[in-house]
Amino acid sequence: MLPAPISTTWMPSQALLGTVVPPIRRVPGPDGTGTPTGVPVHVGELPAMGAITDQELLARLPDTLIDHDNKEFYRGWLERKLVLNRCADCGFWHHAPRAWCPQCWSHNVVPTEVSGRGTVHLLIFLHQGPPAPGVDYSTPHPVATIELAEQEGLRIQSTIVNCARDDMRIGMPVKLTWVERYGAPYPVFEPAEA
Ligand SMILES: [Zn+2]
Protein backbone atom coordinates (compact mmCIF):
# COMPACT_ATOMS: atom_id res chain seq x y z
CA MET A 1 0.00 0.00 0.00
CA LEU A 2 1.53 3.26 -1.07
CA PRO A 3 1.30 6.26 1.26
CA ALA A 4 -1.18 8.95 0.30
CA PRO A 5 0.33 12.28 -0.74
CA ILE A 6 0.25 15.20 1.62
CA SER A 7 -2.08 18.13 0.97
CA THR A 8 -0.80 21.55 1.88
CA THR A 9 -1.80 25.17 1.76
CA TRP A 10 1.80 26.29 1.99
CA MET A 11 2.78 29.08 -0.41
CA PRO A 12 5.43 27.86 -2.87
CA SER A 13 8.43 29.78 -4.05
CA GLN A 14 8.99 30.18 -7.77
CA ALA A 15 11.80 27.64 -7.46
CA LEU A 16 9.35 25.02 -6.22
CA LEU A 17 7.30 25.46 -9.37
CA GLY A 18 10.36 24.25 -11.19
CA THR A 19 11.09 27.31 -13.27
CA VAL A 20 14.35 28.32 -11.63
CA VAL A 21 17.56 26.46 -10.89
CA PRO A 22 19.69 28.71 -8.70
CA PRO A 23 23.30 29.21 -9.74
CA ILE A 24 25.84 27.29 -7.70
CA ARG A 25 29.23 28.68 -6.86
CA ARG A 26 32.16 26.90 -8.44
CA VAL A 27 34.61 25.41 -5.94
CA PRO A 28 37.95 23.71 -6.65
CA GLY A 29 38.43 19.97 -6.32
CA PRO A 30 40.10 18.43 -3.26
CA ASP A 31 43.52 18.80 -4.84
CA GLY A 32 42.74 22.36 -5.91
CA THR A 33 43.04 21.56 -9.60
CA GLY A 34 40.00 19.47 -10.43
CA THR A 35 42.26 16.82 -11.95
CA PRO A 36 40.09 13.87 -13.06
CA THR A 37 40.41 10.75 -10.95
CA GLY A 38 38.86 7.31 -11.07
CA VAL A 39 38.19 4.83 -13.83
CA PRO A 40 36.94 6.24 -17.14
CA VAL A 41 33.48 5.01 -18.06
CA HIS A 42 31.40 5.25 -21.18
CA VAL A 43 28.84 8.02 -20.97
CA GLY A 44 25.82 8.48 -23.18
CA GLU A 45 26.00 10.10 -26.58
CA LEU A 46 26.03 13.85 -26.35
CA PRO A 47 22.86 15.49 -27.58
CA ALA A 48 23.36 17.69 -30.61
CA MET A 49 24.28 20.83 -28.71
CA GLY A 50 25.07 24.12 -30.31
CA ALA A 51 22.17 24.34 -32.73
CA ILE A 52 20.51 26.78 -30.32
CA THR A 53 22.77 29.73 -29.58
CA ASP A 54 23.23 31.22 -26.12
CA GLN A 55 21.45 34.35 -27.34
CA GLU A 56 18.42 32.36 -28.48
CA LEU A 57 18.41 30.43 -25.21
CA LEU A 58 18.28 33.66 -23.20
CA ALA A 59 15.58 35.07 -25.50
CA ARG A 60 13.38 31.96 -25.25
CA LEU A 61 13.61 31.69 -21.44
CA PRO A 62 13.80 35.36 -20.38
CA ASP A 63 12.58 34.77 -16.82
CA THR A 64 14.96 31.90 -16.09
CA LEU A 65 18.31 32.47 -14.41
CA ILE A 66 20.68 30.86 -16.91
CA ASP A 67 24.42 30.59 -16.34
CA HIS A 68 27.29 28.62 -17.87
CA ASP A 69 26.73 25.72 -15.47
CA ASN A 70 23.04 25.19 -16.27
CA LYS A 71 22.78 26.42 -19.87
CA GLU A 72 22.93 22.92 -21.43
CA PHE A 73 20.12 21.80 -19.10
CA TYR A 74 17.91 24.60 -20.40
CA ARG A 75 19.15 24.29 -23.99
CA GLY A 76 17.92 20.71 -23.78
CA TRP A 77 14.44 21.97 -22.92
CA LEU A 78 14.24 23.81 -26.23
CA GLU A 79 15.08 20.52 -27.99
CA ARG A 80 12.67 18.60 -25.73
CA LYS A 81 15.55 16.66 -24.23
CA LEU A 82 16.11 16.27 -20.50
CA VAL A 83 19.87 16.75 -20.20
CA LEU A 84 21.59 16.29 -16.86
CA ASN A 85 25.27 16.37 -15.98
CA ARG A 86 27.14 13.07 -15.82
CA CYS A 87 30.74 12.66 -14.76
CA ALA A 88 32.89 11.29 -17.59
CA ASP A 89 35.42 9.94 -15.08
CA CYS A 90 33.27 8.06 -12.54
CA GLY A 91 29.86 7.94 -14.27
CA PHE A 92 28.00 9.71 -11.45
CA TRP A 93 24.96 11.80 -12.42
CA HIS A 94 23.98 14.95 -10.57
CA HIS A 95 21.31 17.63 -10.61
CA ALA A 96 21.08 20.65 -10.28
CA PRO A 97 23.90 21.31 -12.74
CA ARG A 98 27.34 22.01 -11.29
CA ALA A 99 30.72 22.50 -12.89
CA TRP A 100 32.20 19.56 -10.99
CA CYS A 101 31.23 16.03 -9.99
CA PRO A 102 29.99 15.85 -6.37
CA GLN A 103 31.19 12.23 -6.19
CA CYS A 104 34.84 12.44 -7.36
CA TRP A 105 35.23 16.24 -7.78
CA SER A 106 36.26 15.90 -11.40
CA HIS A 107 35.45 18.87 -13.62
CA ASN A 108 34.97 16.45 -16.52
CA VAL A 109 31.15 16.57 -16.38
CA VAL A 110 29.20 15.98 -19.58
CA PRO A 111 25.60 17.11 -20.22
CA THR A 112 23.90 13.82 -21.13
CA GLU A 113 20.30 13.03 -22.05
CA VAL A 114 18.40 10.80 -19.60
CA SER A 115 15.78 8.19 -20.49
CA GLY A 116 12.98 10.16 -18.84
CA ARG A 117 11.88 7.10 -16.84
CA GLY A 118 11.48 7.35 -13.11
CA THR A 119 9.21 7.09 -10.09
CA VAL A 120 7.45 9.66 -7.92
CA HIS A 121 9.66 10.19 -4.86
CA LEU A 122 7.80 13.05 -3.22
CA LEU A 123 4.37 14.52 -3.97
CA ILE A 124 2.60 17.57 -2.63
CA PHE A 125 -0.49 19.46 -3.74
CA LEU A 126 -0.45 23.24 -3.85
CA HIS A 127 -3.72 25.06 -3.17
CA GLN A 128 -2.28 28.52 -3.73
CA GLY A 129 0.77 30.14 -5.25
CA PRO A 130 2.04 32.63 -7.82
CA PRO A 131 0.26 32.58 -11.20
CA ALA A 132 1.95 30.39 -13.81
CA PRO A 133 0.77 29.10 -17.19
CA GLY A 134 -0.93 25.72 -16.96
CA VAL A 135 -0.94 25.82 -13.15
CA ASP A 136 -4.42 25.50 -11.62
CA TYR A 137 -4.37 25.72 -7.82
CA SER A 138 -8.09 24.90 -7.61
CA THR A 139 -7.54 21.27 -8.64
CA PRO A 140 -5.00 21.56 -6.69
CA HIS A 141 -1.64 21.71 -8.50
CA PRO A 142 0.66 18.68 -7.98
CA VAL A 143 4.37 19.25 -7.45
CA ALA A 144 6.37 16.05 -7.70
CA THR A 145 9.99 15.14 -7.12
CA ILE A 146 10.85 12.42 -9.61
CA GLU A 147 13.64 9.95 -8.93
CA LEU A 148 15.10 9.15 -12.33
CA ALA A 149 15.89 5.59 -13.39
CA GLU A 150 19.53 6.40 -14.17
CA GLN A 151 20.70 6.53 -10.57
CA GLU A 152 19.38 6.24 -7.02
CA GLY A 153 18.96 9.72 -5.60
CA LEU A 154 19.03 11.47 -9.00
CA ARG A 155 15.93 13.60 -8.71
CA ILE A 156 14.23 16.45 -10.52
CA GLN A 157 11.26 18.54 -9.47
CA SER A 158 8.34 18.98 -11.84
CA THR A 159 4.63 18.21 -12.03
CA ILE A 160 2.45 15.30 -13.14
CA VAL A 161 0.02 15.49 -16.06
CA ASN A 162 -2.48 13.11 -17.69
CA CYS A 163 -3.36 11.59 -14.32
CA ALA A 164 -6.32 12.07 -11.99
CA ARG A 165 -5.36 13.63 -8.68
CA ASP A 166 -6.61 10.65 -6.68
CA ASP A 167 -4.52 8.28 -8.80
CA MET A 168 -1.24 10.09 -8.05
CA ARG A 169 0.89 8.16 -5.57
CA ILE A 170 4.42 8.17 -4.23
CA GLY A 171 6.26 5.29 -5.90
CA MET A 172 4.20 5.57 -9.10
CA PRO A 173 6.22 4.88 -12.30
CA VAL A 174 6.32 7.91 -14.58
CA LYS A 175 7.84 8.96 -17.86
CA LEU A 176 8.91 12.29 -19.28
CA THR A 177 6.68 14.35 -21.52
CA TRP A 178 6.59 18.03 -22.44
CA VAL A 179 4.15 20.91 -22.15
CA GLU A 180 4.44 24.52 -23.32
CA ARG A 181 5.04 27.08 -20.60
CA TYR A 182 5.95 30.73 -21.24
CA GLY A 183 6.22 29.89 -24.95
CA ALA A 184 8.90 27.24 -24.45
CA PRO A 185 8.90 23.48 -23.77
CA TYR A 186 8.77 22.51 -20.10
CA PRO A 187 9.51 18.98 -18.83
CA VAL A 188 6.69 17.23 -16.93
CA PHE A 189 5.89 13.61 -16.13
CA GLU A 190 2.94 11.32 -16.81
CA PRO A 191 2.04 7.81 -15.61
CA ALA A 192 4.05 4.98 -17.18
CA GLU A 193 3.63 1.23 -17.14
CA ALA A 194 5.47 -0.37 -14.21
ZN1 LIG B 1 32.88 11.81 -10.91
Residues 11 and 129: beta-carbon distance below 8 Å:
yes
CA of 72 to the centre of ligand 1 (A): 18
Give the pLDDT band of residue 42 (cuts 50, 70, 90): very low
The residues of the chain that CATH labels 2.40.50 are 6-16+115-191
Q: What is the pLDDT of residue 51?
A: 84
CA of 87 to the centre of ligand 1 (A): 4
Residue 8 predicted with pLDDT over 80: no
- Once rounded to an integer, what is the mean pLDDT over residues 104-125? 98
Task: Give me the pLDDT at residue 19, please.
Answer: 44
Whether omega for the bond prior to residue 88 falls within 30 degrees of 0, making it cis, is no
Look at residue 3 in the predicted model and tell me its pLDDT.
54
C-alpha of residue 7 to centroid of ligand 1, in Å: 37
What pLDDT shows up at residue 49? 53
Q: Write down the mean pLDDT value for the chain.
A: 82
Task: Give me ligand 1 centre to Cα 32, in Å.
Answer: 15
Burial class (CB in 10 A: 0-12, 13-18, 19+), 131: exposed
CATH 2.20.28 residue ranges for the chain: 54-113
For the chain, give the secondary structure using H, E and C.
Answer: CCCCCEEECCCCCCCCCCCCCCCCCCCCCCCCCCCCCCCCCCCCCCCCCCCCCHHHHHHHCCCCCCCCCCHHHHHHHHCCCCEEEEECCCCCEECCCCCCCCCCCCCCEEEEECCCEEEEEEEEEECCCCCCCCCCCCCCEEEEEEEECCCCCCEEEECECCCCHHHCCCCCEEEEEEEEECCEEEEEEEECCC
Query: 194 CA to middle of ligand 1, Å?
Result: 30
How is domain 54-113 classified at the CATH fold level?
Answer: Rubrerythrin, domain 2 (2.20.28)
CA of 88 to the centre of ligand 1 (A): 7
Radius of gyration, alpha carbons of the chain: 17
Considering only the top CATH level, what class is 6-16+115-191? mainly beta
Residue type at 13 in one-letter notation: S
Q: Is the pLDDT of residue 13 over 60?
A: no
pLDDT at 134: 83
Residue 28 Cα to ligand 1 midpoint, Å, equals: 14
Give pLDDT tens digits for 54-108: 999 999 999 899 999 999 999 999 999 999 999 999 999 999 999 999 999 999 9
**Rounded to two decimals, what is the model's pTM?**
0.74
